[in-house]
Amino acid sequence: MAGFTLHTRIRAKADDSKDTFDIATKTVEWDPAQAAVIICDMWDTHHCISTAERVAEMAPRMNEVVAGIRKEGALIVHAPSGCMGFYDKTPQRKRAQDAPFVEASVEFRWNGWEQSREIRQLEESPLPIGITNPGPCSCHTPEPCCKESYASWVRQIETIEIAEEDAISDDGQEVYNLLQQRGVENVLVMGVAVNICVLGRPFGIRQLVYLGKKPLLCRDLTDSHHCDHGGHFHGTDLTLEHIGKYWCPTVTSDQLVGGKAFRFRDNKRE
């Protein structure tokens, strides 16, 4: 297998500066046999109308990217949180449940920025308040247009294929067992919402870092959920910058399967 040559991006601290971060790039080689993809919370619907619409818009490109990476031999883990009952008794769900237990060095839990663990070498600053504490609605208009937050989802959006060889889990321990079973160190994370679940889930970026894995965020295949009305995509960019500063590098999907990096049609910024 040829593998992937990826040009990753981080935000590195400038020399002798506590507050200045510069963009830095690094070329890395990825062996698909030692890599995995985690698809976070790409649900079939959402209580926020625009969030559901953006997931549906992004899903075809995500499916294309996942199919290409799967073809190269990487493990694909579908993680639609709270939907395991829908997949009960499927072979992909059973694969995650049956992976041999491996004791981890840290407990599995929700990892919010305000709950940074002592093992972190670099103190994480908070995200802007509207991004850290998202409201129930992430639509562009300031008028309330969505109901209060509630779990409206049942399954992963059907657009994203779940292949026979894939796994399904929203449990951090199960995901870790799968990674250890395959000898996976490099984990590509995609899905939503980047400022909440992608970072904080027990299988998310913070947890992967705590476990000593090497997560990489696919920055064009994610979205944010926050209440900065009129500045939605700017909020996503702020979160991507934050992740590049404190947690892991980012990459774009065109480096993995060709074509063009995904861009939401409403993102009309230069």
The ranges assigned to domains in the chain are 42-111+128-257
pLDDT band at 1 (very low <50, low <70, confident <90, very high): very low
Looking at the DSSP assignment, which residues form a beta bridge with residue 9? 25, 250
SS (H, E, C) 107-158: CCCCCCHHHCCCCCCCCCCCCCHHHHCCCCCCCCCCCCCCCCCCCCCCCECC
DSSP per-residue codes, 51-98: HHHHHHHHHHHHHHHHHHHHHTT-EEEEE-TT-GGGGTT-HHHHHHHH
Average pLDDT score over residue span 262-266:
94
Q: How large is the average pLDDT for residues 45-67?
A: 95
Contact 82, 170 (CB under 8 A): yes
Q: Which of 17-21, 108-112, 261-265 has the highest mean pLDDT?
A: 261-265
The residues that bridge with 156 in the sheet, in sequence order, are 43
With 50 as the cut, is the pLDDT of residue 19 above it? Answer: yes
pLDDT tens sequence across 66-103: 999 999 999 999 999 999 999 999 999 999 999 999 99
pLDDT confidence band for 181 (50 / 70 / 90): very high
The Cα-based distances of 218 to 24, 187, 255 in angstroms read 16, 10, 10
Q: Look up residue 76 and give its two tokens.
A: 């694909």
| Pairwise CA distance, residues 242 & 98, whole Å | 36
> Per the structure block, which two tokens stand in for 64?
């294309």
Q: Do the Cβ atoms of 182 and 95 come closer than 8 Å?
A: no
> What φ, ψ does residue 24 adopt, rounded to 5°?
-130, 145
Confidence band, pLDDT 50/70/90 cuts, at residue 120 = low
Q: How many angstroms separate the CA atoms of 187 and 164, rounded?
A: 20
User: Would the pTM of this model clear 0.85, i.e. be above it?
Assistant: yes
Produce one character per residue of 227-249: b if its CB has 16 or more CB atoms within 10 Å, e if not: bbbebbbbbbebbbebbbebbbb
Are the C-beta atoms of 39 and 198 separated by less than 8 Å?
no
As its CATH architecture, domain 42-111+128-257 has: 3-Layer(aba) Sandwich (3.40)
Could you tell me how far CA 33 lies from the centroid of its own chain?
A: 20
Q: What's the average model confidence in pLDDT over 248-269?
A: 94
pLDDT in tens, 127-178: 765 666 566 677 766 555 676 667 789 999 999 999 999 999 999 999 999 9
